[in-house]
Each structure stands twice: as structure tokens, then as C-alpha cells.
Chains A and B, each alone.
Chain A
Amino acid sequence: MLEAVASLRGGGKQRREDESMDYVKAFVIGGLVCALVQILMDRTKMMPGRIMVLLVCSGAVLGFLNIYEPFVEFAGAGASVPLLGFGNTLWKGIKEAIETDGFLGIFMGGFTASAAGISAALIFGYLASLVFEPKMKK
């Protein structure tokens, strides 16, 4: 299936090999991040809301320290898909906004960079409420 995706855009064998590496890295790194958070979930009594906050804030801090962006370059989706990546996105947005808009950028860049994700969640979440009914857990 991965090959089908790669071949959708052509590019030859080398391209496909590079891509396979992309998927392996995404799987392993993304999986590792989740496995580590699982320890938090099981060993502490942290509720999911608090864990999500911890991840987002950590991502922003790691982005500020210039650690997360290289991590994203290496691991691709394995680093950008976890909520840590969301925090990093917020930081990147603010940094870029400061460079273009100065002080005001600190207030603008976060929401600008994360707009797609947050809007999607809000809009699709709302649309879902029009269509779906709550169901009992099994």
C-alpha cells in the first residue's frame, strides 16, 4: 500500500526506498513517544487532560530550545503528529510572527500557525454533532 502511494507520484526506486525509511521512522519514533506517555498514564494518576497540556507545553519549550525542529526533520510525522508537535507548531508560528510583526507577533503567531488544526477540530466536531448521536460504551 505504501508503494501504491509512492507510485501515485512517480519518482523511481530511490524515491520509494527513501519513502520506506520515512514510514519506518514515523512508525518507530511516533510509537516510542506514545509508549513513553503510556508510562505516565499507568504509573501516575494523571488524567488525560493534564497529559495533553503537558505534551503541548513541552513541545513549545523544546521548540524554543531548538531541539524539536531538528527532531521533526529527522522523524517526520513521528514527531509532528503527536501533540508535542502541536506545541512546536505554536512556537514556530510565534517566532516567525515576531520576525515579521515584532511585538504584536507574540500575540498573533500561535493561533495563526495552529489555525488549521484547531479550526478543523472545531468545525468537524460541530458538523459531527449534527450527524451523530452519543452511543453507550461497550
Chain B
Amino acid sequence: MSSMTKGMQSISFQEQPYLISSGSVVGKKEGEGPLGARFDMIDDTDQFGEKTWEAAESTMQKEACLMAIGKAGLKPQDIRYIYGGDLLRQGIATSMGVEALQIPMFGLFGACSTSGEALALSAMSVAAGYGDRILAVTSSHFGSAEKEFRFPLGYANQRPLSAQWTVTGSGAFLVGNQKSNIRISGVTIGKIVDYGLKDSQNMGACMAPAACDTVIQNFEDFGRNGEEYDHIITGDLGYVGTDILLDLVKKKGKDISAQHLDCGKLIYDQDSQDTHAGGSGCGCAATTLSAYVLPKIAAGEWKRILFVPTGALMSTVSYNEGESVPGIAHAVVLEHC
């Protein structure tokens, strides 16, 4: 097999894997948002029948996986590997969630870029012949994330306008050789970009440099300048991060304001749902991709999309110890076929 590497950080697949099916599972606030009707499963209690937020998040992952697998007419036994991750310490939401499926799994940490990372790895594995059907899954839950990174739910605090709302949701994606209307033609793996920001309440600003870096690298590697994409969709830069990203990209000589969309802005209604700078969390990009973006690609409404979720690679410990918040972004090129 000849090399599929492209430029400095990308891969252009020879036998392009198909994105066969996907599943999206969300909570109450997301169900009440602009994309509400499109999600596969909504639980108004946000608890999914479980006693803890962490178990609820695990159940969301399991359900999203089963949904993606079921839509392809398959069973868990038919899946070769899972690539999955979440925001929680030691990735417990994923481990406890996919355990029931008994599929060999790779646990990942990419913070909110995990959906991009998992999709990229799944596509790479299929294209290299390591499996015919590989599942990518990720999730986030407002309750578990707030508890881990910020405050217990009952704590009465006032959030700044730059703060984002962690999405309660899980998205799973089946990648493989079974024909569908969506192919993954290439990926650009991001490197860590840190502009020294230490504001954990302004994640968009922390991650925007990484998004810019990966997008520009994707353009360079593939010889593109942005117009080739119907849309360039970031995961959760939110309102503040989007403004910054567009500026940073302009400084590099490109303009993506016409094509740019952000899942964090799409998933909530800023005015009525009071979500300040928009949605965030691994589930934000994953559920929006599954419920909103993929149907449009499958239908041919959008022909080529660059999906670029971003992550903030910090922990509460690193933050308390005075470290800045570095970002990372992984890009996946999705095409209608």
C-alpha cells in the first residue's frame, strides 16, 4: 500500500471509509433547543434511569452506540473496535458505558475534541485494513462535568458572559466499508497550541488558536483555501471563540467567515436558554454532528464539510497549579457520495 500521508499533519485516504450511521442521545436542555426534534433520544430527567450523573453519562454512551449499530442493521458483536472518550477523570463515563457492549476498546482523552480524534482514528483504522466496522463515541454531562471542573450543582454562582454550558449528550459514529452516502476522505491531526491564557471561564478563547492552527494546516496539506468546503464546523468555540477564530484565520491570510459554523452556537438558543457563550463539552460537537450535520451531507445538501472539534487540555490540578489552558483541534473531511 503506498503512503497516504498528506503534507505535514494530514492523511488522504485511498479507499475512503464510509460513515455508515450515527446515534445521538441528549438531555432536557438540548431537547428544548433549536435542534431538539432531530436527536434520536431525549431524556427530560437527564438521569437516564441512573442514580448518579456519571452513570447517566455512561448510559447515554451505551444508548448512542446501540443506536448507531442498530441503524446499520448490525449487532455489537459485528463491531471490531471502539474508540471512545469523555471529560471525566480516568475516562470513567466511557469505560462504564461501553463495557456492556463487550467490544474491544481504545480509551481516549481529547477533551472536547474527542469526537474528531475518535472519528479520525476510526477512519484511519478502517482505511488501513484493521477493521471493517469501527465505532467512535464520546459524551459529556452537565452534572458530572460541573462537579468535576467547577462547582456542585446546588452552588449559587453567577457565570460570566464568556462561560459556556456543558452539553448533556452522547454521539456515536459507525465507520467502515459498508456503503452509505457519507465518506471520510481525509483527516488533519492537530498539535497542541497554547497562547498562555489562564481563564477557565473563557474556553473559546483558549481553544481558538488550536482551531486556527489545524484549519490552516488542513488548507496547506490539501492545497485548499476554504472555498472547497461548504462549511467549516468547529465543535464548541462558542460566540466568543468564533469571533477570535475568524480574526486569527484572517491574520493568516484566509477568510472562513462565510463557511464557518459552530456546534456550540447551533445547539442552544442563546436568548431563550440563557447559555451565555454557547454549548461545550464532547457531547456538543458529537450530537450536533450526528443530528444536524450528517443528515445534510447524506442528502447532498452539503457536499464537503470540514469538521473541527476543539479541546482544552487542562485539569483542575493543572489549573490550580497556575498552568495555562492549551488547546487542540482535530479535523475530519466529510464528503457526500
Point out residues on A near B: beta carbons under 8 Å: 41-42, 45, 48, 132, 134-138
Which listed residue, A45, A132, A134, A136, touches B28 by the CB 8 Å rule? A136
Contacts of B50 in A (CB 8 A): none
Contacts of B152 in A (CB 8 A): 134
Do residues A136 and B201 form an inter-chain contact, with CB atoms below 8 A?
Answer: no
Q: Which A-chain residue is minimally distant from B146 (CB atoms)?
A: A137
Do residues B157 and A136 form an inter-chain contact, with CB atoms below 8 A?
Answer: no
CB distance from B104 to the nearest CB of A (A): 34
Do residues B46 and A136 form an inter-chain contact, with CB atoms below 8 A?
Answer: yes
Provide the main secondary structure of the chain A interface: loop
1-48 of chain B: CB within 8 A of chain A: 27-29, 46
With A41-B158, A48-B157: A136-B143 Cβ-Cβ less than 8 Å: yes
Can you list 19 residue pairs at the A/B interface with Cβ under 8 Å?
Answer: A42-B160, A45-B199, A45-B201, A48-B157, A134-B143, A134-B152, A134-B153, A135-B153, A135-B154, A136-B27, A136-B28, A136-B29, A136-B46, A136-B142, A136-B153, A136-B168, A137-B142, A137-B146, A138-B274
Which listed residue, B53, B153, B199, touches A137 by the CB 8 Å rule? B153
Q: Which A-chain residue is minimally distant from B161 (CB atoms)?
A: A42
Contacts of B28 in A (CB 8 A): 136
Point out residues on B near A: beta carbons under 8 Å: 27-29, 46, 53, 142-143, 146, 152-154, 157-158, 160, 168, 199, 201, 274
Q: Which A-chain residue is minimally distant from B52 (CB atoms)?
A: A134
CB distance from A81 to the nearest CB of B (A): 16
Q: Which A-chain residue is minimally distant from B155 (CB atoms)?
A: A48
Measured between alpha carbons, how far is A138 from B143 in the docked complex, in Å? Answer: 12
Measured between alpha carbons, how far is A22 from B168 in the docked complex, in Å? Answer: 48
Provide the main secondary structure of the chain B interface: loop
CB distance from A93 to the nearest CB of B (A): 28
CB distance from A2 to the nearest CB of B (A): 26
Q: Which A-chain residue is minimally distant from B142 (CB atoms)?
A: A136
CB distance from B236 to the nearest CB of A (A): 18
CB distance from A116 to the nearest CB of B (A): 22
CB distance from A92 to the nearest CB of B (A): 28
Do residues B154 and A134 form an inter-chain contact, with CB atoms below 8 A?
Answer: yes
Q: Which B-chain residue is minimally distant from A41 (CB atoms)?
A: B158
Measured between alpha carbons, how far is A41 from B28 in the docked complex, in Å? Answer: 30
CB distance from A38 to the nearest CB of B (A): 9
CB distance from B182 to the nearest CB of A (A): 33
Contacts of B158 in A (CB 8 A): 41
Measured between alpha carbons, how far is A138 from B272 in the docked complex, in Å? Answer: 11
Closest 5 pairs between A and B when the two form their complex, measured CB to CB: A134-B153, A136-B46, A48-B157, A137-B153, A45-B199
Contacts of B53 in A (CB 8 A): 134
Q: Which B-chain residue is minimally distant from A132 (CB atoms)?
A: B154
The interface centre, meaning the residue of B27, B53, B153, B201 with most chain A CB atoms within 10 A of its CB, is B153
Contacts of B27 in A (CB 8 A): 136
Measured between alpha carbons, how far is A102 from B274 in the docked complex, in Å? Answer: 55
Q: Which A-chain residue is minimally distant from B273 (CB atoms)?
A: A138
Q: Which A-chain residue is minimally distant from B156 (CB atoms)?
A: A48
Contacts of B274 in A (CB 8 A): 138
Contacts of A137 in B (CB 8 A): 142, 146, 153
Contacts of A135 in B (CB 8 A): 153-154
Measured between alpha carbons, how far is A22 from B209 in the docked complex, in Å? Answer: 55
Measured between alpha carbons, how far is A136 from B153 in the docked complex, in Å? Answer: 6
CB distance from A40 to the nearest CB of B (A): 12
The interface centre, meaning the residue of A45, A48, A134, A137 with most chain B CB atoms within 10 A of its CB, is A137
CB distance from B49 to the nearest CB of A (A): 15
Measured between alpha carbons, how far is A42 from B201 in the docked complex, in Å? Answer: 12
Contacts of B160 in A (CB 8 A): 42
CB distance from B333 to the nearest CB of A (A): 36
- New A-B contacts (17) at CB < 8 Å, excluding given A134-B53, A137-B146, A137-B153: A41-B158, A42-B160, A45-B199, A48-B157, A132-B154, A134-B143, A134-B152, A134-B153, A134-B154, A135-B153, A135-B154, A136-B27, A136-B29, A136-B46, A136-B142, A136-B143, A138-B274
Contacts of B143 in A (CB 8 A): 134, 136
